[in-house]
Amino acid sequence: MDKILMTNVRVLDCSGAEPFLGEVLVEGRMIRKVSDQLNALPKQGARVVEGDGAFLMPGLVESHTHLGLNNSNDMFALSALPAEEHTLLAMRNARFYLDHGFTSCMSAGSVKPRLDVVIRNAINAGEIPGPRLLASSPWLTVTGGLLDQHRYHMRREGVGIVLDGPENYRRVVREMIREGVDTIKLIISGDTGIPYAPSHSTVMSEEEVAMVAREVHCRGRRIGAHARSAHSVKLCVRYGVKIVYHATFADEEALDMLQANRDRLFVSPNIGFTAAGIRDTAALGEAGREAHAVFEEEMEAASRALSQLRKRGVRILGGGDYGFESTPHGQNAKDIEFLVKDFNFSPMEAIQTMTRYGGEAMDLAEPLGQVKEGFLADLLLVSGNPLEEINVLQEPRRFLAIMKDGKFHKEPAAGLPLQAAPVGQVSIARQSGSN
Ligand SMILES: [Zn+2]
């Protein structure tokens, strides 16, 4: 079995512990040993990577990915992209995410029914580079819901699948699972700035949600749901949704319900998307005034909900809705910065939304998201301290090496280009302390 020993690295294991200088031994796909001492783990038969004091942390986990988006806001034009071109686009994006340190992604909506499934399968077969991916169905929505792009005056389809009534949901959920998705994506509430389905409204019926839950859970799959209104959040909890997206207007009762079920669910607020909306509508001046007010209202509500959820110990996930014009792919780790700067998360807590808790939300047979023995070897070697320089994770050039499944996607550069001085001092202190 392939052995790789990473030595002289500062391990940010993302359990919540402070980083320590040490070594990590990778065997095959797994992290076999972690030591807080140097020269402690066996070198025999191992390729030794000298980390020169760089930080070693888990690969990042994105909780709300759309690999089929093309950095444009025109979802209708995107729906017109032929399947062949679309597959190539998603394939390039998959590699782009891995290049940006994302070793795992949970899709929150495939732009074509089989797009995620095909990309996931090709990644798993080693045919193309990309993160470990949980494949999603397209957005399942109701008539007049978010991503219902039908119009009376012309025949056209959009990227969402529009369904009304439990029986229609039952059929499509069964079809999607037949095609191989891991996740069914529901649009239970309205969304920001949609006049006929604003965020406060709950557009799916309880009967529809209940039917989906029945069909999904008896097949061992999961539901991820767009839920901004208070009632939609309650439906999510009542029917076992695993990832509640947004939870913007969660009221006291909804917060209580989330808290009571915090061991089995996650909330992914997608804060970067709202922050980008505020920034972009402000730049429009008077023309963007109305939209700006809506985004600000949502940010305020999200901020309230998020601080409550944090207090109540609900696991928060990072990432979400990158791939639009104002939130291009690859900037996903900005969410970590937003959580620190605007929501009073400590850097450690914010980073855990994209590592430890992301790994828990992936919920695979083998654990991931921390640098720990018995965890999958998804690792980043980082030039700089992510706890002190929070935006270091937004810069792929700072990743000296990227490992997924025990294999380097990005090989460690020969003679790692580090400014080693302050790091070296710490390492010496640690060394004498621990030996
Ligand atoms: Zn989305």
Q: How far is the CA of 270 from the centre of ligand 1 (A)?
A: 8
For residue 396, the CA-to-ligand 1 centroid distance in Å is: 23
What value does the mean pLDDT take over residues 207-231?
A: 98
Cα(108) to ligand 1 centroid in Å equals 6
| Predicted pLDDT at 1 | 76
Per-residue confidence (pLDDT) for residue 418, from 0 to 100: 47
Q: What is the pLDDT of residues 295-321, one digit of tens each?
A: 999 999 999 999 999 999 999 999 989
CA 124–ligand 1 middle distance (angstroms): 23
Please check the confidence at residue 426 and state whether its pLDDT lies above 70: no
Q: pLDDT digits over 39-62, tens only?
A: 999 999 999 999 999 999 999 999
Whole-number Å distance, alpha carbon 318 to ligand 1 midpoint, is 13
Confidence (pLDDT) at 157: 83
Q: How remote is the CA of residue 144 from the centroid of ligand 1, in Å?
A: 17
pTM for the complete prediction? 0.93
Residues 92-105 have pLDDT tens digits of 999 999 999 999 99
Centre of ligand 1 from the C-alpha of residue 320, in Å: 6
CA of 109 to the centre of ligand 1 (A): 6
pLDDT range class, residue 415, cuts 50, 70, 90: low
pLDDT of 329 over the 80 cut: yes
Q: How many residues in the chain?
A: 435
Report the separation in Å between the CA atom of 185 and the middle of ligand 1, taken as the mean of its atom positions.
Answer: 9
Question: Percentage of the chain surpassing pLDDT 70?
Answer: 95
233 has pLDDT over 50:
yes
CA of 321 to the centre of ligand 1 (A): 5
- Alpha carbon of 350 to ligand 1 centroid (Å): 20
